[in-house]
Structure 1
Amino acid sequence: MRQAVTVRAALADAARQLEAVSDTPRLDAELLMAHALGTSRDMLLLGRLDDPAPETFAALLARRRTHEPIAYITGTRAFWTIDLAVGPGVLIPRPDSETLIETALAWFGTRVPQRVLDLGTGPGTLLLAALAEWPEARGLGVDASEAALGYARRNAEALGMADRAAFRQGDWTTGIDGKFDLILANPPYIGTDEPLPPQVLDHEPAEALFAGTDGLDDYRRIVPALPALLAPGGAAVIEIGWTQGDAVSLLGQEQGLSSSVYKDMGGRPRVVRLT
């Protein structure tokens, strides 16, 4: 009788297969295995390594070998303090985007932003992370993609925030009324000729990635609308590509806004705060 392959052996083999696909082959293998087992990565490593490898793991591994993102395969992505459902057609939350929440927390200190606006909300990433930090806050997420908004609404429901988070299909700030204490945005900022890895270029939505030849097209639409939407003492916290700090800061200054640039965990400029 053939002996079953253990999780430990299957992980070692999978990591070798993924070396040509991923910069983190072992981590990818562990996340896929945890998903196949219906457990967490921590529980996998602590007590499941000598279990028989599940038959479903091979199919998950095959998908990853085609450069399909891990988050699309598992259907979830952790961001800040929350877990978000994600899938094809939705921009996958990145750890670098947590810099926006850190920047907002530093700006408000002990104050609470009562009204939050998230432009290009995707699966609700920044809005729901902000509402998790400030239980008294309410917010609006806007996105052009109805598919993304479907995920956002489901995530708000799963996180118990459906009564505080509204979502609307729209074109950036068009048709938005009122004042907001905190405006968050992670717009497309990649130039149309910039290279991207296959797992991004071939799988994630192009409309959430590219913004003209210099990557600044959407900032040119968003930033001029900010003075009319910001409440007194409020802040707009906007993600940028690491070379775009000066350009986006200048766009804000042209509208009479003060600007500051903040770096991500890797030490690269990642956020412009406009006040």
Structure 2
Amino acid sequence: MSAPRGTTVLAGGIATLRGAGVDDPVRDARRLMAHAMGVDAGRLTIALHDPVADDVVTAFQAAITRRAAFEPVSHIIGKRLFYGREFHVTPDVLDPRPETEILIEQALSGSFETVLDLGTGSGCILITLLAERVGARGLGADISMAALDVARGNAGAVGVAARAEFRQGDLWDVGLGNARFDLIVSNPPYIAADEMDGLSRDVRGYEPEIALTDFGDGLAFYRRIAERARDHLTPAGRVLVEIGPTQGPAVAAMFRDAGLIDVAIAPDFDGRDRVVMGRAP
């Protein structure tokens, strides 16, 4: 029997994902097919016209089975594109999301030479900022050693390892001493405990719970960040945090109460509140 063509194999995968209720079965199947074939996604259409080897079919069908169980594509292929760069991801870190690029854009709108990333996870925020601002140095803190291992690997792959340090600890408790930074950034766990059941199966079943929720009202980490931000900011240094779309007014009030100035809220692509920022006097 001759080997099936890629178009036939892909069609079967799309049908499986559609039957499972995956939101975008065509996109996901194509990404998994490109990964299984070892080709760039941009060349997939051309490659699909060729017969597909048995090992490629086996790998693709295994990936489709995992995606049909709502495992994120990024976990299956081990990487996620963020701000134009590929980042390695695992179940130990939060999957980088397009909305977080709003924080990157806001951070890059001002000057900085030193950065502190609280709850760094995959390191995508810190590493991107260092890659975009050559000469800057930064520290990424996370309570999870497994996440820090991922972040260190990503720093090396992107080429900023010499300018990035990673420490394990709970938010501020990473031996900062009197250290101050021009920029403090964070995408902390902000989903309230009573909202967890409403998350999609892709998120709820596969991403680390401690990176998603504070097991309370979703605002606990913002309180802690606001309380000590001025202690670790240089004069006129900035702090930027990603938020859930309903949390803007509450987090902005925390920043103002903590003595930060020029507090503002930036929207995401859909016009929803996404980043709160403030500045030390």
- Shorter-chain TM-score bucket reads over 0.9
- Where do residues 144-159 of structure 1 align in structure 2 (5 Å cutoff)? 144-159=143-158
- Where do residues 23-172 of structure 1 align in structure 2 (5 Å cutoff)? 23-45=23-45, 47-53=46-52, 54-55=56-57, 56-106=59-109, 108=110, 111=111, 113-172=112-171
Equivalent in 208, 224, 231 of residue 211 of structure 2? 208
Aligned residues: CA RMSD: 1.2
Contact 1:81 1:129 (8 Å CA) reproduced: no
Contact 1:235 1:273 (8 Å CA) reproduced: yes
Relative distance call for 1:88 and 1:212 in structure 2 (3 A) is closer
- Displacement after TM superposition at 1:233 (Å): 2.4
Q: One-letter code of the match for 1:35?
A: H
- Where do residues 180-191 of structure 1 align in structure 2 (5 Å cutoff)? 180-191=181-192
- Displacement after TM superposition at 1:266 (Å): 1.9
Q: One-letter code of the match for 2:229?
A: L
Alignment match, 1:265:
269
TM-score, normalization by structure 1: 0.94
- Displacement after TM superposition at 1:246 (Å): 0.4
Alignment match, 2:240:
237
What's the CA shift string for 1:175-201, capped at 9, x where partnerless?
Answer: 323111111100000011111111111
Q: One-letter code of the match for 1:262?
A: A
- Displacement after TM superposition at 1:203 (Å): 0.8
Q: SS of 1:118's equivalent?
A: strand
Q: One-letter code of the match for 1:71?
A: S
Structure 1 regions of 5+ residues with no counterpart? none
- Displacement after TM superposition at 1:23 (Å): 1.8
Alignment coverage as a number of residue pairs: 269
- Displacement after TM superposition at 1:52 (Å): 2.5
- Displacement after TM superposition at 1:217 (Å): 1.2
CA separation in 2, counterparts of 1:116 and 1:215? 24
Alignment match, 1:193:
194
What's the CA shift string for 1:241-263, capped at 9, x where partnerless?
Answer: 00000010011011011310011
Q: One-letter code of the match for 1:42?
A: G
Q: SS of 2:117's equivalent?
A: strand
Q: SS of 1:193's equivalent?
A: helix
Q: One-letter code of the match for 1:138?
A: R
Q: SS of 2:66's equivalent?
A: helix
More helix by share: 2
- Displacement after TM superposition at 1:64 (Å): 0.6
What's the CA shift string for 1:215-239, capped at 9, x where partnerless?
Answer: 1111111111101111122211100
Contact 1:11 1:30 (8 Å CA) reproduced: yes
TM-score, normalization by structure 2: 0.92
Q: One-letter code of the match for 1:181?
A: D
What's the CA shift string for 1:55-83, capped at 9, x where partnerless?
Answer: 21100110111111111100011111321
Contact 1:115 1:138 (8 Å CA) reproduced: yes
CA separation in 2, counterparts of 1:22 and 1:119? 33
Identity %: 46
Q: SS of 1:90's equivalent?
A: coil
